[in-house]
Amino acid sequence: MHFHTQNVHFPAKEKAKEISKTKPIYQTSAFTFSDFDDMEQYFNGDKSYLYTRMGNPNSDDLGRGTAELEGGEAGVASASGLSAILAGVLACAKSGDHIIATQDLYGGTWSLFSSDLQDFGIEVSFVNMEDRAEIEGAVKENTKLLYSESITNPLLRVEDIEGLAQIASSFNIKLMIDNTFATPYLIRPHELGADIVAHSATKYIGGHSDVTAGVVTGSAELMQKAKAKVSMLGSNIGPFDAWLGVRGLKTLSLRMEKQCANAKALAKALGGAAGVKKVFYPSAASARGNGAVVTIELEDDRDVMAFSKHLDWVKVVPTLAGLETSVTYPVATSHRPLPEETREMLGVTKQMIRISVGIEDERDIIEVFEQALKSRGE
């Protein structure tokens, strides 16, 4: 070889002699074949990978691993939580169809449903998912999907998934649940009758605030459709991000156990604290715990901005999860897309703060919030 060729084609091809303890990162855009006949084997179903947009061992690991924990037949990883939600919806609905969604949705999902899905020709009705008559009254001949969250954002209402599954079954429509806040450590929606489960794996699946990812799980048939949507819409996840997601997934139970315990202690402490009007925290989400998010509403005479300036080591962020305790302001971040009248109807107020509880010592977490509550606008 001349230098320019040698510079590109090193090292020489050889079979691997070492086997890595962890899954290697397949940081490649495409896979190679011995000849054209060998490449044709992919299209015949005898080869697994061709082009990373269409599939990669790392993204398959993240989808498969999440599905196994959720109790789904198959899973598909994507570039974000919203892309996973979109893939799941499009696996069930197409132009001319109708879906029903809970009215107390994460703001990003609300925007996707209220605006972007309309561009796909999919109609969406928002209902009170605690009112069976309202749900049933919203069903149309072209309704294909019921959609809700296992633990809602930011009011932390625990959804009656079994009840929704019964309604969906009676009308022969699918049920999809966003399980981001609960994770399969607390709630496994497939076991309660959900057909599709979605995650913003950016949150507790990844767990370290260093990856943006999504996962959707369900039957092999539905996930085949979802994977096709991820591929054709170009919303696939990169190999390294998928590898990070798998790394995080392996410590999910340890992190959630600690974070749920800390959140329970914080919710109890803030329940009697001066300046706190109301604490939102589930009481019976699951036998393992009630989640790692605590939402508080400050008294009307408390300055929310002053509170945010006195949080010491607690991070102020636009998201949740991760190892460190953090806070966000729902009306300005997660629920900013919702019209003010909709936020007021739901009870998402300007005095509301969402706390994502980390793995620190619970005594330190409680102390920093008690100190911040003493600020009165100075």
Q: Please name which of 317, 46, 28, 73 lies closest in space to residue 218, comparing C-alpha atoms.
A: 73
| Catalytic residue (choose from 47, 53, 277, 278) | 53
Catalytic, 53? Answer yes
Of the listed 144, 157, 188, 203, which one is catalytic?
Answer: 203
**Active-site annotation holds for 147:** no
For the chain, first and last CA: distance in Å? 73
Is residue 376 annotated as part of the catalytic site, yes or no? no
Active-site annotation holder among 26, 60, 61, 106: 106
Q: What angle do CA 91, 94, 99 make, to 5 degrees?
A: 85
Does the annotation mark 204 as catalytic? no
User: Using CA atoms, how far apart are residues 343 and 348, in angstroms rounded to an integer?
Assistant: 5
CA angle at 271 for the pair 265 and 274, rounded to the nearest 5° = 125
φ and ψ of 286, to 5 deg:
-165, 170
155 phi and psi, to 5 degrees?
Answer: -85, -10
- Which tokens go with 336? 């900013």
User: How far is it, in rounded angstroms, from Cα 217 to Cα 88?
Assistant: 8
Which residues are CB-neighbours of 252 under 8 A, at least 6 positions away?
69, 183, 184, 185, 204, 205, 207
The Cα 179–Cα 111 span in angstroms is 18
**Beta-carbon count within 10 A of 166 CB:** 13
Buried b (16+ CB within 10 A) or exposed e, 320-350: bbbebbbbbbbbebbbebbeeebbeebebbe
**Per-residue tokens: 364:** 């330190």
Task: Give the HSE-up count for residue 263: Cα atoms under 13 Å, Cβ half-sphere.
Answer: 34
**Marked catalytic residue, from 178, 185, 195, 343:** 178
**Active-site amino acid positions:** 53, 106, 178, 203
